[in-house]
Structure 1
């Protein structure tokens, strides 16, 4: 049924420090909101009209009250939030998933940010965070550099079973770049691998999630930089030829994606080959059943760079599958020719970036896409870095819960990104009063929350630094469950 206008008169109670209201901050007692759907209107680019693209929010007097009032104590707002369930509703988006994944280049969906798109971005952000939470970075561990959990219980171990996906394969990576010995992650002799690191995973939506989102979604998640060798590779900052044209990509990123060695245990095949083998298998499996399949690739920081390489390969190898990249804090990866090749292949790219985060400004802090304005004078600038795709730009100053000042690690955190996505409504507005994501998660691996909230910094840590008391009263390192110990790579 076509609806031309729907007006909601919504009395809302004033927020209190204690009580049951699910609103945050000082909120006026009445508002009127009108939603207008224009089914006959068309976008200016000539594309077919979409109800998602033409859902406009208008406000009548009195002024809007959707955002947190900056004059209210954020401690009071935080206390109110504690009485609200942290999960937002998950609507059925089956009829509109193409728009949410960029079929119209996210026109009219980013600013203001459509709530369906917001929740999907956070879902993939949780996958990116999971790649950090599951990584064993304890240099005293014999399994340092591996995933801490068996893939059969991966999401269950991380409390993400609600996302509706199942892990089908792990990806490991190495690099052929020479690294100084003092940068090695572990000096232990008997460690699981001296060459490889667990770098990500492939997952697929289960039947329930597939019905909600309207297709079988294959997700590839790439972890960001944690191992010393990856930090060293990130510092290479050299553009090298890519393919047969003028495209150039960053040398260190490409080395991590493509390196392999027959003498290694986990990288006889490169990260590229591991990912593509599993993607190809899953696409064939579900297309044979007659299902519509999408490929969504996500990653944070270095993971955002690897996601672009993965998307490029998949688009060339598996035509006809909708491929989108949703990355967080991704650096520049290549030059304008590489960006254009991604576009010509039909890959939809959404980069979520934070104004205060330095990583999306690198590499090419000086030699970047800003120089393209001088191309008439200089000619094609094939050695200049440039970003690809659409950008959703966040600002840490929009959140009343975050500290002000310089905090590079906090600004780069995935949890900070998800906090700000949850609170973002549109550019220049305040933080959403009805944001529901748990604010405490911001300080999980940094110190960015305001001190008044009394949330300990770096609170995610193992008790007694991982040591346990055995039956003899000795403090020892616990042994992993046999099913969680990395197993030899399969022979292919």
Structure 2
């Protein structure tokens, strides 16, 4: 059993406790925990400076273009019953590339998401199902996309869903929340199994977690007496639907399960071994756990793997027990100074650590489940060490640190042959040292997406017809496989 670190769940958190928690982690506050304070006030000594790395002439590895080795021998480690611990510490190179591969699938959901609140398609994917991988640089990733997933929620949530200010918006309730894709024949041969991947989009705004969050658990098990509970806000986003909406007359949960049945039944009918990998960052990590739970309920003999980055606690002990009973594998990538993995219930963490021996019987506790791969900001010669809660939570930062990570006994060392471009870290944050000469938050469309029309006015251009958000029942024909 490898879930751990129990948290107290409090039904009615007081406002001053939330303010206290918020103050712990916002970079403009003078107070902080010991680890965060240390990283803010020191500049690491390293034998390899950023300038040394930048002066190297070896070719970098682009997302989606990394030459990956034959991983068929790792099939049972990643998608089966074999214990991954020896491959995580020290981190096996092939395992490293597989973890980064799944992280890049998630990063694609950020790169393809329309965050522009002035756009009439804000909250949707910028591209069609058959063009998305190409547009975000993942065309050579070895997977074929089959479906988009949409989510909505009527619950009182932090700002997890983007809404358009446009008077004729595509919708006012739903957001594109992820997609489903399947390994092609070549990739299937390389990894040893036909893999269905479901990357769930998260949130890049770490500060939004503390705002208006209630931390209430609710039952999700088919039997109300089984005590399986998960955080209500996550489950609301995953399971909400409404007849009044175009894109969520079915929930993200229903959309996922319907497509999963279609894909699993198709490939099994051809005599193939099939696996499911649910993956996500931040909020998306929570959705990945919920999807894995449903898949394990639906298909008791389907290998299910969860790979998450910066994920919060999702459910209670019984939720984790169920995943373990169904042999669901989980790999949790965690940045040492990121506070999101300590949510929900962070305010009560230290009190409960003292009584962990009796915590197993408390069904109302939030509990983590999975093997942990902890990575450290201090290991990288490229990164500044200013306190930045948002930067610590950034997905590209996670992928950069995984690329350089060696082992738990060498947490402050960075792999010399790491080749992932460090500039990617600053796509949506400012964590790189100034001598790297990479500006903060550089990933954006030219002129912030504006173009000049025939009258000389700067406007947001209309979407190409093929890139208008497809309805949730749109799927790729299985004849492509």
Within the alignment, does 1:435 sit opposite 2:411 as a pair? no
Contact 2:151 2:240 in 1 (8 A): yes
Task: State the match for 2:151 in structure 1.
Answer: 173
Aligned Cα root-mean-square deviation (Å): 2.6
Q: TM-score, normalised by structure 1?
A: 0.81
- Displacement of 1:299: 0.4
Does the Cα contact within 8 Å between 2:59 and 2:419 map onto a contact in 1?
A: no
SS at match of 1:108: helix
Whether the 8 Å contact between 1:169 and 1:278 is mirrored in structure 2 is yes
State the alpha-carbon separation in 1 of the partners of residues 247 and 401 from structure 2.
37
171-180 or 394-403, which moves further after superposition? Answer: 171-180
Distance of 1:117 and 1:340 partners within structure 2: 26
Q: Distance in 1 between matches of 2:319 and 2:104?
A: 28
Shift of 1:179: 6.5
Residues 72 and 90 (structure 1 numbering): CA distance in 2 closer, same or farther, change over 3 Å?
closer
The aligned residue for residue 460 of structure 1 is 443
Distance 1:390 1:487 in 2: 37
Query: 1:431, 1:227 → 2: CA distance?
Result: 27
374-383 or 169-178, which deviates more: 374-383
SS at match of 2:105: helix
Structure 1 residue 448 corresponds to structure 2 residue 431: yes
> Are residues 1:347 and 2:328 paired?
yes
8 Å CA contact 2:430–2:441 kept in 1: the answer is yes
Aligned equivalent of 2:138: 160
Residue 325 of structure 1 pairs with residue 306 of structure 2 = yes
TM superposition shift of 1:405: 2.1
2:313–2:367 Cα contact (<8 Å) kept: yes
Q: Which residue of 1 aligns with 2:220?
A: 242
CA distance in 1, matches of 2:238, 2:351: 27
Higher-Rg member (1/2) = 1
Alpha-carbon shift at residue 370 of structure 1 (Å): 7.8
**2: CA distance between counterparts of 1:398 and 1:378?**
34
Q: Which residue number in structure 2 is paired with residue 421 of structure 1? A: 402
Query: What count of residue pairs does the alignment treat as equivalent?
Result: 423
CA contact (8 A) 1:105 1:348 kept: no
If asked which structure has higher relative contact order (CA below 8 Å, sep 6+), I would say: 2
Q: Distance in 2 between matches of 1:69 and 1:83?
A: 26
Unaligned runs of 5+ in 2: 1-43, 476-481
* Partner deviation per Cα, 1:62-97 (whole Å, 9 max, x = no partner): xxxxxx992343212222156455565311112331
Is contact 2:403-2:420 (8 Å) kept? Answer: yes
Indicate the SS of the match to 1:151.
coil
In structure 1, how many angstroms separate the alpha carbons of the residues matched to 2:227 and 2:422? 45
> Secondary structure of 2:367's partner?
coil
- Cα deviation 1:356-376 (Å, max 9, x = unaligned): 111111112144598376366
Per the normalisation by structure 2, the TM-score is 0.83
Aligned residue number for residue 253 of structure 2: 272
Say whether the 8 Å CA contact 1:185–1:227 is kept in structure 2.
no
TM-superposed deviation, 1:412:
0.8
Query: How many Å separate the matches in 2 of 1:353 and 1:73?
Result: 24
Given that residues 310 and 333 in structure 2 are in contact (C-alpha distance below 8 angstroms), is that contact kept between their aligned partners in structure 1? yes
Match of 1:474 among 451, 454, 457: 457
Checking the alignment, whether the CA contact within 8 Å between 1:296 and 1:325 is kept in structure 2 is yes
**Structure 1 residue 428: Cα displacement:** 3.5
1:74 alignment partner in structure 2: 50
The one of 105, 110, 124 aligned to 2:102: 124
The aligned counterpart of 1:110 is 88
Name the CA distance, whole Å, in 2 between partners of 1:107 and 1:378.
25
Aligned pairs (5 A) from 1:171-320: 171-178=149-156, 185-225=163-203, 235-243=213-221, 244=224, 245-320=226-301
Mark the runs of 5 or more structure 1 residues left unpaired by the alignment: 1-67
Counting helix residues as a fraction of each chain, which structure ranks higher? Answer: 2
Partner of 2:176: helix, strand, or coil? strand
Structure 2 CA distance, aligned partners of 1:299 and 1:211? 25
Superimposed CA distance per residue, residues 3-23 of structure 1 (whole angstroms, 9 cap, x where no aligned partner): xxxxxxxxxxxxxxxxxxxxx
**Alpha-carbon distance in structure 2 between the residues aligned to 1:373 and 1:401:** 37
**Helix, strand or coil at the partner of 2:131:** helix
CA contact (8 A) 2:158 2:213 kept: no
CA gap 1:477/1:409 in 2 versus in 1, 3 angstroms: same
Q: Distance in 1 between matches of 2:123 and 2:85?
A: 40
Mapped contact 2:204–2:394 kept (Cα < 8 A): no
* Paired residues of 1:177 and 1:233 also in contact (CA < 8 A): no
Partners of 2:423 and 2:361 lie apart in 1 by 47
Looking at structure 2, the residues matched to 436 and 227 of structure 1 have their Cα atoms a distance apart, in angstroms, of 28
- Residues 389-417 of structure 1, C-alpha deviations (whole Å, 9 max, x = no match): 11000001011110112111211111100
SS of aligned partner of 2:366: coil
